[in-house]
Structure 1
Amino acid sequence: MSKRSPSRTPSKPWPTPKPKTAPNRVRFKLHVKLTDTGEVFTVPNCCRKTTVSELKTRIELIAGIPIEFLRLSYLDKVDLQDKTTVKRNNILPETTLTLSIWPYQGWPELVKAAVSGDIYRIQSAVFRHFVTLPQIPHRLFSALFISAHRGKLAAVCFLLEKGADIKGQTPSGRRVVHAAAASCSKRCLEELYAAGGFEDMPDSMEVASILERRSMQYLSYFQWKLRTVNMSLKHLMHLNELHPYQHFDSQQRTWQRGPYGQMYMVEVKQRDPIHLPKITSLRPSGSPTLSNVKTTYTAI
């Protein structure tokens, strides 16, 4: 007598694994410490493929220091090469990089003076005895860029009086107004706007791609303000320019209770549409308004 083989239950299919994010595309933060001032900044949205040059471009707006004299190092004092990536330099997420200033031509002293906002220190750092005449405009622009980012209004006014180029750009294409908008310095932005800092500025989103939403709102506001300077708005429009339903104001008593309201259909909407049905009827203008309905006028 043959033994009956036990019935086998059908095996369940293996669950499909969820797609994982590639390791090179995982986003994380990096911290940067400026050794000359002791400030610590956070650079968001970094990945393993981010190059050192891209990091410096982001740090320019986050730290408010022009990119041409920035130096980055990690775990030692050796400068990171611009073309290398985060993965190449074995930089771990959430770690702190060392940011330093180019040590020649008095740039560290200029950065410290601009960060402090002290006018006397800025004047002595810009007009040094070894600085030649062609170098002064560049130093004035750099000090203005840093002071506008820190919100030092007195230093900004002083540098503008000394002839700092308000329309100058860093090698990455950033202006002084971008630095002021990155820190949401409204008073500095108003001073820069009065000095013509928003004139001939390209509307490029790539230039200000690191700015937050509030900073972009400040830039958009002052750009709109510049475009509307020469616009003349009429306070009252002529009757020939109005539409037929604009000849009379529906907020006036003569419109609500006079013969003009009878030319319109009254659409009565309930305040609670779940319990009460929608009612649409032709209501004369002089009839009283119910307390539990909302009345709107639409043209026939």
Structure 2
Amino acid sequence: MEERPPGGALRPDPAAGRRPPSAQPPARAHSGSRGGDSQATSLTLDLAPDVFTMRVLLEETGEMFRVTNCRADTTVLELKKELDLIAGIPLNLQRLQYLDQGILMDDTTLKFHDVVPGGIISLCVWHYDGWMELVLAAVEGDPSKLFCLGVTEESFYRTANSQHLEEKQRKRWVSQRASVALYVTSHRGHAEAVQYLLENGANCLSRTPMGRTPLHVAAAMGRLDCINLLLRHGAAISAKDAMGMTPMAIARQLNRKHSERRLFLFYWILKSGRKGTMDLSMSKTSRMVKFGSGSKKTRT
């Protein structure tokens, strides 16, 4: 079971899907002819509302996300921090582009790049070291594909970088890949993949550069099955991200009422010391996931 996106909050576009055929933003003037067109763009930005919405297209999957509360002076880094939660892609794996421009630098602003309200910014995953393939498999949520991409120490997957790593370094590399896969699958609500990763060593306490755990994004997206699995495997309900937000606070901010209630119930059980009740609740959740309640059936 998952909740539908709330209105007005930072959230994925309700019409998320493939690139719309006629949703391209107005063409930007090229560097050689910034005369009248450039002045018109600047005038458009000057007349734009103080706060507006941007669309962000994850190029590798065709998913579209909306980022609200954007301003002309919003920096690329600030936008990436929001996408860490909204798109479920860790900040350090993101590269953003707009129209014919190259990679947008973190310290530049939307106004500097002539980004118009409602325009589409492209989000791409860095290709180095097999990260793009891993994110694609995590978005799809297929455990067998994840296994083939180095999320467990038993995997034979190697990259040009990893094949030169010593044993201790390789273990850290595998752990990092498992953590990213867990973050993305928790965001997308793939309970089967989440369970597979947790049972094969993925750390539910791992954090993105924004300090967010898989529980943060599961709560933000209303992924109740994933929330239950993460809690059962020791996820920290009180963990704060770089903005000082706990998973419950994020659920409340985004109006994810079912997520907030589930987290509050778990918090209450912990505080009351009723461990037996908690174990029973988590055991019931595990059976529900196993037999396909709110998720795909578990592999045999």
Is 2:236 aligned against 1:198?
yes
For the pair shown, which has the larger CA radius of gyration, 1 or 2?
A: 1
C-alpha contact 1:119 1:158 (8 A) present in aligned 2: yes
> How many pairs align?
212
Deviation at 1:82, TM superposition (A): 0.4
Partner of 1:175: 213
Partner of 1:49: 73
Distance, in Å, in 1 between the alignment partners of 2:210 and 2:263 is 22
Is 2:125 aligned against 1:101?
yes
Partner of 2:263: 222
Partner of 2:134: 110
Q: What is the TM-score when the length of structure 1 is the normalising length?
A: 0.65
The gaps in structure 2 that reach 5 residues or longer are 1-45, 163-169, 275-300
The one-letter code sitting in structure 2 at the alignment partner of 1:53 is L
Partner of 1:152: 190
Query: C-alpha root-mean-square deviation of aligned residues, in Å?
Result: 2.5
C-alpha contact 1:198 1:226 (8 A) present in aligned 2: no
The gaps in structure 1 that reach 5 residues or longer are 1-21, 234-300
Distance, in Å, in 2 between the alignment partners of 1:67 and 1:214 is 24
1:66-95 deviations in Å (ceiling 9; x for gaps)? 111100000125100101111111111101
Partner of 1:64: 88
The one-letter code sitting in structure 2 at the alignment partner of 1:107 is W
Is 2:113 aligned against 1:89?
yes
Distance, in Å, in 1 between the alignment partners of 2:171 and 2:268 is 36
Distance, in Å, in 2 between the alignment partners of 1:203 and 1:115 is 23
Deviation at 1:226, TM superposition (A): 2.6
Which structure is higher in RCO with an 8 Å CA cutoff and minimum separation 6?
2
Structure 1 residues 185 and 63: CA distance shift in structure 2, 3 A: same
Partner of 2:294: none
**What SS does the aligned partner of 2:56 have?**
strand
Deviation at 1:119, TM superposition (A): 0.8
Deviation at 1:202, TM superposition (A): 3.5
Identity %: 34
C-alpha contact 2:142 2:193 (8 A) present in aligned 1: yes
Distance, in Å, in 2 between the alignment partners of 1:159 and 1:193 is 14
Structure 1 residues 160 and 230: CA distance shift in structure 2, 3 A: same
C-alpha contact 2:212 2:241 (8 A) present in aligned 1: no
Which residue, out of 166, 169, 185, partners 2:223? 185
Q: Whose helix fraction is larger, Structure 1's or Structure 2's? A: 2
C-alpha contact 1:73 1:99 (8 A) present in aligned 2: yes
Partner of 1:231: 272
C-alpha contact 1:198 1:222 (8 A) present in aligned 2: no
Structure 1 residues 214 and 204: CA distance shift in structure 2, 3 A: farther
Deviation at 1:222, TM superposition (A): 1.3
The one-letter code sitting in structure 2 at the alignment partner of 1:188 is C
Structure 1 residues 111 and 203: CA distance shift in structure 2, 3 A: closer
Structure 1 residues 114 and 29: CA distance shift in structure 2, 3 A: same
